[in-house]
Structure 1
Amino acid sequence: MIVLGFESSCDETGVALVDAAGHAIPRLLSHALHSQIAMHQAYGGVVPELASRDHIRRALPLTEYVIKQSNLTLADVDVVAYTRGPGLAGALLVGAGVACALAAALGKPAMGVHHLEGHLLSPFLSQDPPEFPFVALLVSGGHTQLMRVDAVGSYALLGESIDDAAGEAFDKSAKLLGLPYPGGPHLAKLAEQGDAKAFNLPRPLMHSGDLNFSFSGLKTAVLTQAKKLGDQLENRKADLAASTQAAIVEVLLKKAMSAMTLTGLKRLVVAGGVGANADLRNQLNAACAKRGIRVHYPELHLCTDNGAMIALAAGMRLQAGLEALDGAYSFDVKPRWSLAELGAKSLPSAGAA
């Protein structure tokens, strides 16, 4: 079964093909990604209307490229999948519209996919894929969540951000430091030159007794410290970047290890854009090695939004018998869409270890 997947939830247009037949895990055949970073840099952030228009320009050329790279034809596609949500409404509508129109033209079914489920399952495309069950630390853009994952479609929420997510803390702090868009990677790069202990920044909710996150207070602390430095900020920018990153990583590390203790599981999956952060990976690797925990990540080029994770999620849901495909091509998108609507559940609150 060949699945063609489209991702257009924000500022990347991704298209990919996977083969979900005859493989325990769908096999990636080809994928292509166009980033809008250069276009949005002039504005210091994503401009939704410009993002939507660019998705329109990129979707079909990327599809042609992916088909050519796979040595298949459009006639070989069995299912066309697309990101239904969450994300920017206009951007989602572009991907959904292109996918459903193409599916209708081919006479093949279309399938909407949850963006976060794509991230959650993306490590299955790595050279070291996980096995169920595992704890997932999902750190993607505006989302920071800890989930217990027992199977495809079986997710229990352990904790989540109650305000800013980790990715937002990186990006907003970077903007306060005058770093270019997208801020997170620039802050991480600058942090390599700084002293992580230079500033005693808060670690919000680290000792809260639960597995929830909060990073808005950290952003405020960075702003306050930047104002205190005044003319000295430029000279101390690397130190402040390093201290900011250290605070975010320490909270993520503490909560992730607490989730492992709470569940008793010995396998951790880290997914989403922040999962590419080298300091986070290094500290998680060290902490997991001490505890006898296997930790899995997507390949670095699949940490950002991409079509491969959407095609993969569709393929894995089909393999698990969770989707009943039909010939309807009407669609809607869900800019706000909780994983709970896929059948996930919240576990009773428990003290963080």
Structure 2
Amino acid sequence: TILYYVTGPARFELMGQTRDDAAGEAFDKVSKMLGLGYPGGRVIDSLSRKGDPARISFPRAYMTKHGFDFSFSGVKTAVARYLQQHATVFEREIPDIAAGFQASVIDVLVRKTVKAVEEKKTDRLVVAGGVAANSSLRKRMAAEAGRLGVALYIPRPELCTDNAAMIAAAGHHHLANGETGAIDMDAYSRSALTKTNDVTNKSTTKISRR
């Protein structure tokens, strides 16, 4: 879970990132705790619509007052503790647990993002990644974008995952800027957008890759 201020196809300012579990990882782990299987984002989203987020509330980790970093291990632990303390009854409470957990995660994502938009005074907001398929997050982000008067860009739910289209789009912008990959370019399962490796521009200066 990362928050970037983007000023160009290969120009990123890292504003905040998770210090432990990513939001999607938290969804998956809580889903397993509830016996809902893996991956858990879609099933928790669906169950949350049947539950009451106010009935079982979980903590929100806002870290520092002025920072943009995220932490979702605390809410995951809080769910685990609740399940241990209510082992005999939690099965009938699963929709409320799912709704309370989801509300905790979405609240943090939305508030941090809104704060970043206001600080940077940007007029565009992009929400992407697996959790961007979540219906509650999409609704909340749309409402905040409307309130702030910024354009909101969110892929269709089926594209909120690893897919060839996003990689091709990234490559298109790099190539248009004269940036190419070396013949011995390695493959990486994970890579920060701001890390410099393997890609060179016309003057062979190392630049960011994604």
State if a TM-score over 0.5 links the two structures.
Answer: yes
Question: Secondary structure of 1:271's partner?
Answer: coil
Matched, 1:310 2:167: yes
TM score, norm. by length of structure 1 = 0.54
- Separation in 2 of the partners of 1:206 and 1:236? 29
- Separation in 2 of the partners of 1:259 and 1:273? 20
Name which of 185, 190, 194 aligns with 1:340.
194
* Alignment correspondent of 2:151: 294
User: Could you say what the CA RMSD is over the residues aligned between the two structures, in angstroms?
Assistant: 1.5
* Alignment correspondent of 2:2: 145
Name which of 205, 227, 238 aligns with 2:95.
238
Name which of 9, 13, 17 aligns with 1:160.
17
Structural mapping, 1:1-353, within 5 Å = 144-205=1-62, 208-321=65-178, 323-324=179-180, 328=183, 330-342=184-196, 343=207
* Counterpart contact for 2:16–2:70, Cα < 8 Å: yes
Q: Structure 1, residues 157-201: CA drift from partner, whole Å, max 9, x if none?
A: 010001111001111111111111111111111111100111121
Q: Structure 1, residues 94-123: CA drift from partner, whole Å, max 9, x if none?
A: xxxxxxxxxxxxxxxxxxxxxxxxxxxxxx
* Alignment correspondent of 2:200: none
Q: Structure 1, residues 331-353: CA drift from partner, whole Å, max 9, x if none?
A: 42234422221456xxxxxxxxx
* Bigger share in strand: 1
**Structure 2 residue ranges without an equivalent (≥5):** 197-206
- Separation in 1 of the partners of 2:83 and 2:11? 44
Distance 1:325 1:234, change over 3 A: closer
- Separation in 2 of the partners of 1:253 and 1:186? 21
* Counterpart contact for 2:58–2:79, Cα < 8 Å: yes
* Counterpart contact for 2:6–2:13, Cα < 8 Å: yes
- Identity of aligned pairs, percent? 40
* Alignment correspondent of 1:349: none
- Separation in 1 of the partners of 2:17 and 2:113? 11
Say how many residue pairs are matched: 198
- Separation in 1 of the partners of 2:50 and 2:94? 10
- Separation in 2 of the partners of 1:287 and 1:316? 29
Question: Secondary structure of 2:127's partner?
Answer: strand
Q: Structure 1, residues 285-323: CA drift from partner, whole Å, max 9, x if none?
A: 1111111111111122211111111111111211122x1
- Separation in 2 of the partners of 1:253 and 1:220? 21
* Counterpart contact for 1:191–1:241, Cα < 8 Å: yes
Q: Match of 1:341, as an amino acid? A: K
Offset at residue 235 of structure 1 (A): 0.8
Question: Secondary structure of 1:282's partner?
Answer: helix
- Separation in 1 of the partners of 2:165 and 2:99? 32
- Separation in 2 of the partners of 1:266 and 1:303? 22
- Separation in 1 of the partners of 2:73 and 2:162? 24
Q: Match of 1:324, as an amino acid? A: T
**Structure 1 residue ranges without an equivalent (≥5):** 1-143, 345-353
Question: Secondary structure of 2:16's partner?
Answer: strand
Q: Structure 1, residues 132-179: CA drift from partner, whole Å, max 9, x if none?
A: xxxxxxxxxxxx011011011000001000111100111111111111
Distance 1:224 1:341, change over 3 A: same
- Structure 1 or 2, whichever has the larger Rg, is 1
Q: Structure 1, residues 203-237: CA drift from partner, whole Å, max 9, x if none?
A: 01265320000000110000011112211111101
Q: Match of 1:246, as an amino acid? A: A
- Separation in 2 of the partners of 1:287 and 1:231? 39
* Counterpart contact for 2:126–2:152, Cα < 8 Å: yes
1 or 2 for the larger relative contact order (CA 8 Å, sep ≥6)?
Answer: 1
